[in-house]
Amino acid sequence: MFDYFSEKKYDQIVKDYINQQTAYHFIEMIGLGSYGVAYLIEDAVTREKFVLKRMKAKHIRKEKLRNKFFQEINMLKDIDFFNVPSVLFHGEIQKLPYYIMEYVDGQTFEQVIFKNGMRFSIEQSLQITKKLLEIVIKFHKKGIVHRDLRIPNILLKDNQIYIIDFGLATYMKEDVNLKEINNPKRAENYISDLYFIGHFLLFLLYSTYTPMKKKERSWQEELELPPQVTEYIERLLLIRSPFSSTEDALVSIPLIAQLQS
């Protein structure tokens, strides 16, 4: 029966549930992805804001996706550190799994770059990448790889970086042969996150780029970066020999003082 509820109807169900059966107030929907819907809610007394994320109604009967959603909750609980929102509570609303987590009152890098038009120098881009790697190392140490480190899933608040959406995350496999990885985005080891971080770094670097020629060229030609930076990104993107670990990628970040233009 629940298969026939539209997502819209579920928005109302969530709203009524929050307002009538919990200590929170419903505020608004803040995100709609392919697997989930996120809402902003607030504590009725303290006015502190939180996020409720639910599974999309159309997936309600898909056992695999339900398990994936529960895995996302368990991973967030397992990670439990400052730069990843903690889960406060989880349950089901009319058989639809949901969880409530801390709200990061910041902006995604997608908003920062494309809405606010913020520009990042090479130095700033490398510093942000360093901070990102330091966070990623922490969950890699717990055997978790995020596999979706895109600009809408990385947030900036008060100069701090936060990572959300562990919907595609997985536990790392030990015996992945780096030479046999065909699709780095879906690799079940650290390579996936490094690959996404390579693209993330390119988004930061492109924030200062203004096309001069009509014809699109490769990022290497367009950005004209110092050779050490180009080589670094090429290693993240597996164009050159990959880093042997996330720690290796962190210690290999080119030092600004040593960059030759």
Ligand X SMILES: Nc1ncnc2c1ncn2[C@@H]1O[C@H](COP(=O)(O)OP(=O)(O)OP(=O)(O)O)[C@@H](O)[C@H]1O
User: In this complex, which beta carbon is closest to ligand X, that of residue 35 or of residue 226?
Assistant: 35
User: In this complex, which beta carbon is closest to ligand X, that of residue 39 or of residue 243?
Assistant: 39
Q: Does 34 bind ligand X (CB under 6 A)?
A: yes
What totals of helices (H) and strands (E) does the chain contain, helices first? 8, 10
Q: Does 152 bind ligand X (CB under 6 A)?
A: yes
Kindly indicate which of the ranges 4-12, 163-171, 176-184, 200-208 contains the residues binding ligand X, using the contact rule CB under 6 A: 163-171
**Reduced to 3 DSSP states, what percent helix, strand and coil does the chain have, rounded to the nearest 5?**
45, 20, 35
Q: Does 185 bind ligand X (CB under 6 A)?
A: no
* Residue of 154, 6, 14 whose CA lies nearest to 98: 14
* Alpha carbon distances (Å) from 187 to 9, 77, 168: 36, 23, 11
Nearest approach, Cβ of residue 148 and ligand X (Å): 6
Q: How far apart are CA 216 and CA 33, in angstroms?
A: 30
- Which of 22, 31, 66, 185 is the binder for ligand X (CB under 6 A)? 31
Q: Which of residues 80-139 bind ligand X (CB under 6 A)?
A: 85, 101-104, 108
**The two structure tokens encoding residue 68:** 């994936």
Partner residues linked to 72 by β-bridges? none
Mapping DSSP to helix (H, G, I), strand (E, B) and coil, where does residue 144 land?
strand
- Which of 167, 184, 198, 254 is the binder for ligand X (CB under 6 A)? 167
Q: Does 41 bind ligand X (CB under 6 A)?
A: no
Residues near ligand X (CB under 6 A):
30-31, 33-36, 38, 51, 53, 85, 101-104, 108, 152-153, 164-165, 167
Q: Which residues are annotated as a binding site for ATP?
A: 53
